[in-house]
A and B are shown apart, each in its own frame.
Chain A
Amino acid sequence: MNRVICEREDQTAAVIRSGTIGDDIGDHTAAHAQRCPVCAEILLVGEFLHANAALAHHERTTLPDPAILWQKARRQATQQAVRRAVRPIRFMKIIACVAFACAPWLRSLLPMARELAVPWSKAFDLNLAFLSKPWPATAGQLTFLVGLSGTTILLLALSSWYMLRQE
């Protein structure tokens, strides 16, 4: 069976990295590698990779200015902070939109809710008659409903404006 590990493989790899082949430690390692197939393979692969790394350094284009990266990272960090800060507003806005859109449908469910609630109202002696009455029935209730809707729309507009301003 082929050997998989050698106790000196880390040392061999370190010699390649440090480029000390040719001095005493390097020669000692090279002599060991002639007898050890694992270290011979490491030596072969390591030298190949270092040639590749040297080639990559030659191919290197001009690296970006660190000042630009610093500014870019700061800008990204600020954007992330803003996103985190407006997350509760965004969440509440979604809930408000869903509630606003579903309001007529929820109202149509009121009689059905009453039907379902009758056994419970008897058991607990509750008065759920208001569920079956049409709403808004009076001018005051209508004003209240229009006012509530208007306030919701106004708050939605204000939160949208605030988020856009922050972003």
Chain B
Amino acid sequence: MDEASFRLFYEHSAPRLFAYLLRVSSDRALAEDLLQESYCRFLSSKLPEMNEPAQQSYLFRIATNLLRDRWRRHKSNESPIPENFPEPSSGTPPLDRQLELRQAFHQLKLRERQLLWLAYVEGSNHKEIAEATGLRHGSVRLLLFRARRKLANLIRAGTSSETERSK
């Protein structure tokens, strides 16, 4: 990969990778750090010729592994929810809605967040998720189902409490 094609690849993939790292880690500084490290490792690895979706899948795999390693090193599965809210701009959801979204997702475990994000935001199939997370292919469906159910219950609980508050 030469510098020009890397620049193009970076422009396509970096916003999505940052969103993934930010939401799964819930830590902006860590997400920024891991973004850089993921690209450096991606460039250092001797990859065979592959198309862009395969390259992106490989990049997410590196990021997922780095995230998991960092988590193990710190031995803390619960990082604080970042407090630095962005300045409200046009199209940004209101702050209470932002907080609600973060808190619901943050109640899941790291692996559950990774699985859900890869499956429903990145559109990865079970095989790709298994490769990225190091899980067995057969386990992904069940773990994904459990994570999805857990999040659905959290969302429903959040929605019902919001309805009660508004009454």
Interface, chain A (partner B; CB < 8 A): 4-5, 13-14, 16-17, 41-42, 44-46, 48-61, 63-64, 66-67, 69-70, 72-74, 76-77, 80
Q: Find the B residue at minimum CB distance from A77.
A: B44
Across-interface contacts of B116 in A (CB, < 8 A): 45, 49
Residue B143 at the A interface, CB < 8 A? no
Are B3 and A49 in touch, CB under 8 angstroms?
A: no
Known: A52-B105, A73-B40. A45 touches B155 (CB 8 A): yes
Residue B79 at the A interface, CB < 8 A? no
Known: A13-B119, A17-B121, A69-B43. A56 touches B18 (CB 8 A): yes
Given A16-B120, A60-B18, 7 more pairs with CB closer than 8 A: A5-B145, A14-B123, A45-B116, A51-B101, A52-B121, A55-B93, A56-B18
A104 to B14, CA, bound (A): 60
Are A61 and B28 in touch, CB under 8 angstroms?
A: yes
Residue B36 at the A interface, CB < 8 A? yes
Query: Residues of B within 8 Å of A, CB-based: how many?
Result: 44
Identify the stretch in B48-56, B61-69, B84-92, B129-137 within 8 Å (CB) of chain A at 4 or more residues: B84-92
Known: A41-B149, A63-B14. A50 touches B36 (CB 8 A): no
Are A48 and B101 in touch, CB under 8 angstroms?
A: yes
**Interface on chain A toward B: helix, strand, loop, or mixed SS?**
helix
A112 to B76, CA, bound (A): 56
A58 to B123, CA, bound (A): 21
Most chain B beta-carbon contacts within 10 A, residue among A13, A16, A49, A67: A49
Residue B81 at the A interface, CB < 8 A? no
Across-interface contacts of A66 in B (CB, < 8 A): 6-7, 10-11, 14, 39
A129 to B91, CA, bound (A): 93
Are A56 and B19 in touch, CB under 8 angstroms?
A: yes
B5 CB, nearest partner CB in chain A, Å? 11
Residue B148 at the A interface, CB < 8 A? yes
Across-interface contacts of B140 in A (CB, < 8 A): none
A51 to B149, CA, bound (A): 18
21 A-B residue pairings within 8 Å (CB atoms) = A17-B120, A17-B123, A45-B120, A45-B155, A49-B105, A49-B117, A50-B121, A53-B19, A53-B121, A55-B93, A55-B102, A57-B15, A58-B91, A60-B15, A63-B14, A66-B10, A67-B3, A69-B39, A72-B40, A73-B40, A74-B43
